[in-house]
């Protein structure tokens, strides 16, 4: 559930609302977790291998790449973790987090745990890690996760040429060895969700002092430790950490990450029995994988969504009716069937299927394919003049395929004859959209950081967002949600979502789904749709 | 001859400067911000962006960036990637793999290509000649990645004879399948080139004379015909030495070999200027050296060709 305070009084109400949302979600898409009946006994020991794409960094604060996070899942225990079934936030390295006002949070950590090198994990290990990540000049990738904490702005001046006026976040206070007090800039009930992110994991002294050396031989506090060094582009080997004192006792003794540049090759290797798990089977191989792997193949909803963004400042797109007409002229079902083998799911809301608080009816008629109504709406709004330019990147062949379908549907259903493609490299597209130089609709994608409606609202509709849309009522509702707790917060976020859907600066298109397959050598495979991915500690080896 | 070598090496200098500048310009003029590109749709805080821009000189004009790069080169510094790795480390790790792959492929081309060509040439018009012609046409017309995935499926997954991917089997085991796939096009080409060149020379006057003098067929073919027929083949094989290094991009991708080709592929996608320039420069250097080697070999094959 998107707000998860560990105040016991709240957690019962919370559990109830989780259950409620899950029954709603369950009919639409099944659980976010993919786990299959396990015929092998849950015995510890053995070794297995996981196919991986080369990570960018293995220092938690330096990366937001899912490939890195998959490895860090074994190496580090962040303060919290997300339940693979429903995304509720649970304590991991922390014991509790308490707040009265959603502003000041008191986090208590487990005592007596150590890093893989024997160094003691204390509240300062967390504060040091967070300060380093939040310090702008370090240029660490996870920097913006810390933007909610008081003092962040002093570490990240926005004026050109300005130097930071502080090295540490004023909102962090180490109370004692196991207690950290965090003060946020504004009330933010979703804060515990952030704590599940590896960037919030503790770091030993060596990490901050020598980040480059740490990157290839990270020392964490998780159930697994690195065996040797990261062999670039080849292998990352993990072994069980005997001194682990946390709640995630590891099953297998060893894990080998084998690094592949091509997912097709990784899939071939899985078939040949040279690797045990592939968490992302290429969409083109889904039928084959289903046939070959049977119940060792699973599809799970991902929080990732595709949208068509619209430049609302352009007078031609200023009328919400025009934007709705475009949305209703798009046949989502047809496109996901033809291009994504029916694996991706047509969107019915701004947020992904497996997000607590997701409402399948949120978008309603606006996201339903209705060419006649679309044309009528467009005519009412005065029609569309001039060329319609569609912006997207060339990083995946399917982008052009679905854009072509969208273009054809806009031609056929709305009578917009002059549709043009603006296809470009991702770096180019990002800069162009961020500067608002686009003259037409664009492909927008959102990968969740944590499963909360707030993450979508904040990620897409932030002030100065790519569509140029802003709405005071929306901002107020998001702020209200941030300050509220439990179901109250969700209700406020849902109201904000309704405003975003009414105005429709972003047209929701579809929800990604991830496909995984694994060998018969292993059991108890739990893969979630959040940052954790494959739960490394739970996998058992059969032989 | 040494003067010839020295002159050719001197020529290489402006060529190298020219190519690095050209590639640098090409990478530079690509629109968009590579740092923002790395982050995708996620926002990058201005302070982080500014710091990374300064670190990689991204806000400087082209000539300044290039000067930085050249100055670095003189001190042996090839620059760093956006993830903070030294380009020289990165290439050092990878050259061994690409060299192993390239040389394996090259030897396969040389041995099997020439053998097939000689065999077909000597049996011109017979069924085995036709078989070679048909087979090589087929190989030349099928794209490398199709050959690659097929070879993986047949020899790796179905028959289980050779490793599917990766370098775990070590040399030569892990390099046989990718080497063969990489060599397939060149091998077919060498076979056809040797064949047609041999057939042409077998009709030449001096061969008829040699036969008339009563020399054995073996001596006529090996000493007289083959030696002359090899000039176009050597030219091809020489240039191929460089070509294989560059051609390794697709093969290394399919067979998951962490070589230079794979690196180039990734770096172009990420717009890692220094890596692209460094790698390409090294490739240009190999091309130039291979060219020089070919020219020197000419003299050995045909004494009429002299370098002074």
Q: What is the pLDDT of residues B182-230, one digit of tens each?
A: 999 889 999 999 999 988 888 888 888 888 888 888 888 888 888 888 8
pLDDT at B306: 67
List CB contacts (< 8 A) between A160 and chain B.
Answer: 50
Contact list in A for residue B156 (CB cut-off 8 A) is: 268, 272
Confidence of residue B125 (pLDDT cuts 50, 70, 90): confident
CB contact under 8 A, B164 and A447: no
**Please, which residues 5-64 of chain B have a Cβ atom closer than 8 Å to chain A?**
30-34, 36-48, 50-52, 55
User: Token match 């939040």: residue?
Assistant: A134
Residues of chain A with C-beta less than 8 angstroms from the C-beta of B160: 272
Taking phi over 0 as left and psi of -120 to 50 as alpha, with beta for the rest, A415 belongs to left
Q: With an 8 Å Cβ cutoff, is B104 touching chain A?
A: no
- Cis before A269 (ω within 30): no
Helices B273-301 and B2-29 pack at an angle, to 10 degrees, of 150
Q: Which residues touch A53 (CB under 8 Å, ≥6 apart)? A: A67, A259, A260, A261, A263
As a whole number of angstroms, the distance between CA B191 and CA B180 comes to 14
What DSSP character marks residue B223? I
Distance CA A458, CA A435 (A): 18
pLDDT at B9: 82
ipTM of the complex: 0.72
Predicted confidence at residue B38, as pLDDT, reads: 66
- Please provide the size of chain B in residues: 308
Would you place residue B250 in the very low, low, confident or very high pLDDT band (cuts 50, 70, 90)?
A: confident
Cβ atoms of A507 and A310 within 8 Å: the answer is: yes
pTM of the full predicted structure?
A: 0.80
Nearest to A272 among B34, B48, B156 (CB): B156
B299 vs A121, which has greater pLDDT? A121
To the nearest whole Å, the CA of B150 is away from the closest chain A CA by 11
Do residue A430 and residue B39 have CB atoms under 8 angstroms apart?
yes
Mutate which of A66, A264, A272 to test chain B, going by most B C-beta atoms within 10 A?
A: A272
- B17, B21, B27, B31 alpha-carbon torsion, rounded to 10°: 180
B-chain CB neighbours of A264 within 8 Å are: 149, 254
Residues of chain B with C-beta less than 8 angstroms from the C-beta of A138: 51
Predicted pLDDT of residue B290 = 80
CA distance B226 to chain A (A): 42
Of residues B288 and A295, which shows the higher confidence score? A295
Of B36, B163, B266, the CB nearest to A427: B36
Give the pLDDT of chain A (543 residues) as one tens digit per residue.
333 333 333 333 333 333 333 333 333 333 444 454 445 557 889 999 999 988 889 999 998 888 899 999 999 999 999 998 888 899 999 999 999 999 999 999 999 999 999 999 999 999 999 999 999 889 888 898 999 999 999 999 877 778 899 999 999 999 999 999 999 999 999 999 999 999 999 999 999 999 989 999 999 999 999 999 998 888 999 999 999 989 999 999 999 999 998 888 899 999 999 999 999 898 778 888 999 999 999 988 888 999 999 999 999 999 999 999 999 999 999 999 988 888 899 999 999 988 989 999 999 999 999 999 999 999 999 999 889 999 998 877 789 999 999 999 999 999 998 999 999 877 778 888 888 899 999 999 998 888 899 999 998 998 889 999 999 999 999 999 999 988 999 999 999 999 999 999 999 999 998 899 999 999 999 998 888 889 999 999 987
Helix (H) or strand (E) holding A335: helix A332-339
Strands annotated E in A147-190 = 172-176, 179-183
Residue of chain B with shortest Cα separation from A160: B50
- Across the interface, of B36, B47, B153, the residue whose CB is closest to A430 is B36
B256 with A260: Cβ contact below 8 A: yes
Indicate yes or no: CB of A429 within 8 angstroms of CB of B32: yes
Average pLDDT over chain B reads 82
**Can you give the pLDDT at residue B39?**
64
A352 vs chain B: nearest CA distance in angstroms? 17
Is B47 in contact with A274 (Cβ distance < 8 A)? no
Q: How far is A316 from chain B (nearest CA, A)?
A: 25
Closest CA–CA distance from residue A146 to any residue of chain B (Å): 11
Cβ–Cβ below 8 Å for B164 and A268: yes
* Cβ separation B166–A446 shorter than 8 A: no
Interface A-B: count of C-beta contacts within 8 A? 140
User: Which residues of chain B lie closer than 8 angstroms to A446, CB-CB?
Assistant: 41
pLDDT at B308: 58
B256 → closest Cβ in A144, A212, A262: A262
- Collapsed DSSP state (helix, strand, coil) of residue B104: helix
Among the partner residues A136, A425, A459, nearest to B51 by beta-carbon distance: A136
CA nearest B295: which of B246, B201, B231? B231
Contact state of A138 with B51 under an 8 Å Cβ cutoff? yes
B50, B94, B254 ranked by CB distance to A262: nearest:
B254
- Return the axis-axis angle of helices A320-328 and A486-503, rounded to nearest 10°: 90
Q: How far is A20 from chain B (nearest CA, A)?
A: 31
Contacts of A434 in chain B (CB under 8 A): 36
Q: How far apart are the first and last CA of chain A?
A: 38
Cβ pair A137:B47 closer than 8 A:
yes
Q: Mutate which of B165, B259, B268 to test chain A, going by most A C-beta atoms within 10 A?
A: B165
| Contact state of A264 with B48 under an 8 Å Cβ cutoff | no
**Residue A445: exposed, middle, or buried by beta-carbon count in 10 A (0-12, 13-18, 19+)?**
middle
């Amino acid at each position: 559930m998107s707000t998860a305070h560990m105040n016991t009084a709240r957690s019962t109400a919370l559990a109830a609302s989780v259950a409620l949302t899950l029954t709603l979600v369950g009919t639409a898409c099944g659980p976010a977790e993919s786990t299959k009946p396990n015929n092998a006994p849950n015995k510890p020991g053995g070794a297995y291998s996981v196919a991986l794409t080369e990570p960018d960094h293995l220092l938690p604060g330096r990366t937001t790449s899912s490939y890195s996070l998959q490895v860090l899942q074994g190496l580090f225990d962040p303060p919290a973790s997300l339940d693979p079934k429903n995304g509720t936030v649970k304590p991991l390295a922390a014991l509790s987090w308490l707040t009265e006002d959603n502003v000041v949070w008191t986090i208590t950590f487990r005592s007596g745990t150590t890093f893989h090198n024997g160094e003691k994990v204390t509240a300062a290990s967390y504060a040091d890690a967070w300060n380093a990540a939040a310090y702008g000049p370090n240029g660490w990738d996870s920097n913006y996760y810390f933007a909610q904490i008081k003092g962040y702005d002093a570490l990240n001046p926005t004026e050109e040429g300005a130097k930071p006026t502080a090295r540490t976040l004023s909102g962090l206070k180490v109370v004692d060895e196991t207690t950290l007090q965090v003060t946020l800039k504004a009330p933010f009930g979703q804060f515990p969700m952030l704590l599940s992110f590896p960037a919030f994991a503790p770091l030993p002294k060596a990490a901050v002092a020598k980040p480059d050396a740490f990157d290839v031989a990270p020392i964490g506090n998780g159930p697994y430790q690195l065996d040797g060094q990261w062999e670039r582009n080849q292998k990352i080997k993990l072994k069980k950490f005997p001194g682990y004192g946390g709640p995630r006792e590891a099953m297998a003794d060893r894990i080998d990450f084998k690094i592949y540049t091509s997912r097709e090759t990784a899939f071939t290797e899985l078939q040949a029995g040279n690797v045990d798990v592939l968490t992302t089977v290429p969409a083109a191989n889904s039928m084959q994988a289903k046939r070959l792997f049977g119940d060792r193949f699973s599809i799970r909803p991902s929080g990732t969504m595709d949208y068509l963004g619209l430049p609302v400042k352009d007078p031609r797109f200023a009328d919400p009716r025009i934007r709705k007409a475009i949305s209703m002229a798009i046949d989502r079902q047809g496109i996901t069937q033809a291009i994504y083998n029916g694996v991706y799911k047509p969107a019915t809301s701004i947020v992904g299927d497996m997000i607590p608080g997701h409402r399948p009816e949120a978008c309603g008629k606006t996201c339903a394919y209705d060419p006649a109504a679309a044309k009528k709406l467009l005519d009412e709004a005065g029609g569309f003049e001039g060329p319609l330019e569609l912006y997207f990147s060339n990083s995946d062949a399917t982008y052009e395929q679905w854009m072509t379908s969208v273009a054809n549907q806009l031609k056929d259903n709305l009578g917009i004859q002059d549709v043009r493609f603006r296809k470009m490299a991702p770096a180019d597209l990002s800069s162009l959209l961020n500067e608002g130089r686009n003259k037409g609709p664009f492909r927008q994608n959102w990968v969740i950081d944590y499963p909360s409606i707030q993450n979508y609202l904040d990620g897409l509709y932030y002030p100065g967002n790519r569509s140029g849309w802003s709405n005071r009522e929306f901002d107020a509702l998001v702020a209200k949600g941030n300050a509220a707790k439990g179901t109250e917060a969700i209700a406020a976020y849902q109201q904000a979502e309704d405003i975003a859907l009414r105005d429709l600066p972003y047209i929701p298109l579809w929800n990604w789904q991830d496909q995984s397959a694994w060998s018969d050598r292993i059991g108890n495979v739990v893969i979630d749709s959040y940052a954790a991915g494959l739960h490394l500690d739970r996998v058992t080896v059969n032989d | 001859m040494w003067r010839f070598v020295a002159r050719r090496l001197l020529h290489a200098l402006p060529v190298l400067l020219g190519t690095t500048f050209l590639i640098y310009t090409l990478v530079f003029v690509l629109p968009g911000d590579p740092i923002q590109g790395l982050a995708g749709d996620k926002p990058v805080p201005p302070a982080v962006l500014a710091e990374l821009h300064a670190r990689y000189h991204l806000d400087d004009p082209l000539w300044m960036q290039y000067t930085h790069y050249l100055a670095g080169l003189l001190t042996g510094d090839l620059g760093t990637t956006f993830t903070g790795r030294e380009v020289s480390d990165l290439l050092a790790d990878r050259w061994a793999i690409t060299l192993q792959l390239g040389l394996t492929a090259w030897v396969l081309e040389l041995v099997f290509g020439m053998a097939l060509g000689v065999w077909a040439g000597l049996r011109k018009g017979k069924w085995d000649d036709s078989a070679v012609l048909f087979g090589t046409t087929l190989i030349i017309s099928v794209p490398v990645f199709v050959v690659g995935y097929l070879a993986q499926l047949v020899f790796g997954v179905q028959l289980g004879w050779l490793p599917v991917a990766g370098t775990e089997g070590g040399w030569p085991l892990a390099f046989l399948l990718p080497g063969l796939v990489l060599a397939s096009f060149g091998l077919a080409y060498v076979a056809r080139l040797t064949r047609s060149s041999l057939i042409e020379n077998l009709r030449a006057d001096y061969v008829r004379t040699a036969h008339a003098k009563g020399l054995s067929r073996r001596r006529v073919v090996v000493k007289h015909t083959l030696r002359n027929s090899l000039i176009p083949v050597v030219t091809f094989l020489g240039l191929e030495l460089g070509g294989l290094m560059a051609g390794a991009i697709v093969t290394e991708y399919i067979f998951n070999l962490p070589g230079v080709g794979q690196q180039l592929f990734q770096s172009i996608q990420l717009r890692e200027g220094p890596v692209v320039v460094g790698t390409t420069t090294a490739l240009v250097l190999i091309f130039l050296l291979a060219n020089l080697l070919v020219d020197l070999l000419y003299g050995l094959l045909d004494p009429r060709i002299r370098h002074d």
